[in-house]
Structure 1
Amino acid sequence: MTLSAKPLWLVGFRPFFILACAAGAVLPMLWALIFSGGLAPPAGRFSPVQWHAHEMFFGFGWAVLGGFLLTATKNWVQVRGYHGTALVGLALAWCVERIGMAWGGGWPTALFWASNLVFLGSIVVMLLVTLLRYRRQDSFADNYFFLLVLPAFLAAKLLLLSDAYFSTGASMSLGLFRMAFLVMLERTLTQFMKGVFQVDILRRPRLDLAIKLSAATLVFQAWMPPALALALLVILAALLLYRFAWWRPDLGLRRLELAIMYLGYLAIVLQLLLEILAQLGVHGWVGSLSMHVFTFGAMGLIIPAMMVRISLGHTGRKVVFDRGDRLVIGIMLLAFLVRIVLPQVFPAAYAHWIHLAAGAWLLAFTTLGVRLTPRLLAPRVDGREH
């Protein structure tokens, strides 16, 4: 069997969802140990906080986003998509980046930056080539947003790893992932609600465009005058709440696998509201609450459900969440409670909450990885190739 024919390398979500499970299980626990002093920081070139932020966005986050986009873009433009040697190269580049971030402090500068940029640079170019080359047969006219967003991830990564611009890079990284999640939710929830409840949720082109334009502009929030940033935050939050009210939450919240998507959507709104309060000078919460509402609420809740759906549907199985899938979602809901809510109520135990939340991620993504890996390594059950 040639490399291209091995099931693991047939389509992007297969190797990268396995890597995402490993990253989701290990990286938060490593940070918890570093935060509490139980583990020495990585012998890299950056502060522990820079390492943590980078690895969660560009290690874990881009393993998920890369696997999703490599799979989705080929379906959007109806082509075979990257497979075989191309996927092996990308997966190896992702692993080399993790090694460099942990132990590359003493590497020559050129070697370190090559190891740090080859994965993201390669996958961004590959995705752009797919979208541009097959633009005329693209199923989504608004995919031009990705032509702007994808290169911006490279800029965000470099800023995040800069001592002087770390906060700017963090803000930009969050904004880019927020943009990607909003596009994904807009497309998938429409399909899910139609399939499960036979209802059409609100899709108005002007409203959807206004949301995407606002989100795309807020990627550059760190450079904006405070008044402009505040206005855009209010506009985006208001538009999202208006659309949520017409997206039939009365139905969607009845099914856990759909409810988790709605809760992730609301976490995006909550993060915007916290940013609005910060712009107004209102503070007082414990820790970097706004950032973690997004990473635990949007990423942490939506990603496991999305990985289950894709790994079932794209391996030829019926998309039905069983008890094990619901257990994973329940653990991630608990992680959100422990990391976001309890520190505000019992701030003295802050370090304990970080450890418990990291433990929940370890348990959830280990469980998810054990469940997903066998089907990701095996051929489709319906006889199709990919």
Structure 2
Amino acid sequence: MFSPTPPLWLVGFRPFFALACLAGMLFPIAWALMFSGSLPAPNAPFTSVQWHAHEMFFGFGWAVLGGFLLTSTKNWVNIRGYHGPALMLLAAAWLVERLGMSFGGQWPLPVAMLANNAFLGSIAAMLLLTLVRYRSQDSYRDNAFFMVMLPAFLIAKYLMLYGNDFQAGYGMAIALFRVAFLVMLERTLTGFMKAAFQTQILRQPRLDMPIKLLGLLLVLEPFLPRPLTTGLSLALAILLVIRFVFWKPHLAFRRIDIGIMYIGYLAIVSQLLIEALGHVMNFVWVGSVSVHLFTFGAMGCVIPAMIIRISKGHTGRKVVFDGLDRVVLYIMILALIVRVAVPQFAPGAYIGIVHASATCWLIAFGTLAWRYIPILMQARIDGREH
């Protein structure tokens, strides 16, 4: 079927997965060069650490999450979904935000704040409108979690950049992305395991719902007493471990395309345990292990597999991970090991480790960009419009 809209703008995952590939390729290596002093800090009223954290969560992370939610929400409520000019405006807002974050140091504050919030504010409002307006036909009743999370992302972003509480802001951002990943893994792995191994994994509301509620409550971790957040983190980690045992990992790890999702799941558990035990044990980690377990373990491992699977499946192609796809996933596992484990044994090589792990992202996401951006710009091969 012929469509007057270019294929790139037919569905939300197309432009934003393309942008995510470019961001995943460039942002980590840019940070490594800044960290080592080879590249000047951005011309912006933020520290380089603020820039790095913001761009990985709200640049790279929200390109992925935005593309995923724009595509999923239309399927959840069975509507056409945003396309054409709406997606073009969102992509333009994302690009303007990147300019503001890197070169907006001399911009008037109102202009800079508008540039840095237009994308997230607009996409959050659009997604909320979809979920609220079509609530009666929503396939997932627990999408109420997203109705709470979407505005909370705006609060986290504000605290990171303008609220003089960067630690609280990025703590909220990690927790919000963690809930999003838990919801996504819960929904998708059920289908993946059934399709790959003709098996069912445990879906028990009395376990699944407390997991999501605890995850959502931990969004408030920066503002709660430390003994309470220690208990909440430990409780969530225990529930996740219990569920993991019943999710048949012995089968999942036979295939890298599914096994890497389980690695992301375990990274979330490990991050929670480090957060919990770090409050009661005096153990010093090298290199912000808790944060990088999530960014390299959950985001870094799960997102490439998501991009490959969705880019193939939603363009009419057979979802089969070929040799180069699998290489990309192994590179991202290597990046996790290099960034989190190696510094504990070779702290003196920390700068080199940062560069090596960023190079892994450059290679992996560069490969994804080379292979999948052309696919995202082409019409579906099965004749369907979107």
TM-score (norm 2): 0.99
Per-residue deviation, 1:2:
10
- How far apart in 1 are the matches of 2:62 and 2:359? 21
The CA distance in 1 between the partners of 2:189 and 2:2, in whole Å, is 37
- The SS at the match of 1:283 is coil
Q: Deviations over 1:63-84 (max 9, x none)?
A: 0000000000000000000000
C-alpha contact 1:4 1:84 (8 A) present in aligned 2: no
Amino acid across the alignment from 2:263: L
Q: CA deviation at 1:3?
A: 8.6
User: Do residues 132 (structure 1) and 146 (structure 2) align?
Assistant: no
2:104 aligned with 1:104: yes
How far is the alpha carbon of 1:283 from its aligned partner?
2.5
Structure 1 partner of 2:251: 251
Counterpart contact for 1:201–1:248, Cα < 8 Å: yes
2:3–2:385 contact (8 Å) kept in structure 1: no
Contact 1:70 1:81 in 2 (8 A): yes
Instruction: Answer with 143-152 or 277-286: which moved more.
Output: 277-286
Q: In structure 1, what is the equivalent of residue 317 of structure 2? A: 317
What are the residue-to-residue correspondences of 1:211-222 with 2, within 5 Å?
A: 211-222=211-222
Runs of 4+ more than 2 Å apart: 1-4
Instruction: Say yes or no: does 1:150 pair with 2:150.
Output: yes
Distance in 2 between residues matched to 1:124 and 1:334, nearest whole Å? 34
Aligned equivalent of 1:74: 74
Q: Give the 3-state SS of the residue equivalent to 2:50 in structure 1.
A: helix
Match of 1:166? 166
For 1:87-140, what per-residue CA distance to the aligned partner results, in whole angstroms no more than 9, with x for missing partners?
A: 000000000000000000000111101100000000000000000111111000
Residues 316-354 of structure 1: per-residue CA shift (max 9 Å, x gap)? 111100011001101101111111111111000000000
RMSD: 1.2
Would the aligned equivalents of 1:317 and 1:381 in 2 still touch at CA under 8 Å?
yes
Please list, as runs of the form range in 1=range in 2, the aligned pairs for 1:113-128 lying within 5 A after superposition: 113-128=113-128
Could you say what secondary structure the match of 1:76 adopts? helix
For the residues of structure 2 that align with 1:111 and 1:164, how far apart are their CA atoms? 19
Distance in 1, Cα, partners of 2:2 & 2:130: 24
Q: By how many angstroms is 1:282 displaced?
A: 2.6
Name the SS of the counterpart of 1:262 in structure 2: helix
Shift of 1:9: 0.2
Superposed counterparts of 1:1-386, under 5 Å = 5-162=5-162, 164-386=164-386
| 2:179/2:215 contact within 8 Å kept | yes
SS in 1 for 2:41: coil
Deviation at 1:161, TM superposition (A): 1.0
- Structure 1 position 4, deviation (Å): 5.7
Separation in 2, partners of 1:369, 1:343: 29
Query: 1:164 Cα shift?
Result: 2.8
Cα distance between partner residues in 1 of 2:272 and 2:180: 15
Quote the sequence identity (%): 59
Q: Conserved in 2, the CA contact under 8 Å of 1:149 and 1:176?
A: yes
2-side partners of 1:75 and 1:42: how far apart?
39
**C-alpha displacement at 1:162, in angstroms?**
3.6
Larger deviation, residues 235-244 vs 2-11: 2-11
Secondary structure of the equivalent of 2:164? coil
User: Normalising by the residue count of structure 1, what TM-score does the alignment of the two structures yield?
Assistant: 0.99
Task: Tell me by how many angstroms 1:46 deviates.
Answer: 0.2
Provide the C-alpha distance between the structure 1 equivalents of 2:293 and 2:162, rounded to a whole number of angstroms: 24
Preserved CA contact (<8 Å) 2:301 2:333: yes
Tell me whether 226-235 or 119-128 shows the greater mean CA deviation.
Answer: 226-235
Mapped partners of 1:251, 1:305: distance in 2: 17
Q: Distance in 1 between matches of 2:40 and 2:281?
A: 35
Separation in structure 2 between the aligned mates of residue 132 and residue 124 of structure 1, nearest angstrom: 12
CA contact under 8 A between 1:4 and 1:10: conserved in structure 2? no
* CA separation of 1:35 and 1:130: change in aligned 2, threshold 3 A: same
Determine if contact 1:3/1:9 at 8 Å carries over to the other structure: no
**Matched-pair contact (CA < 8 Å) for 2:287–2:340:** no
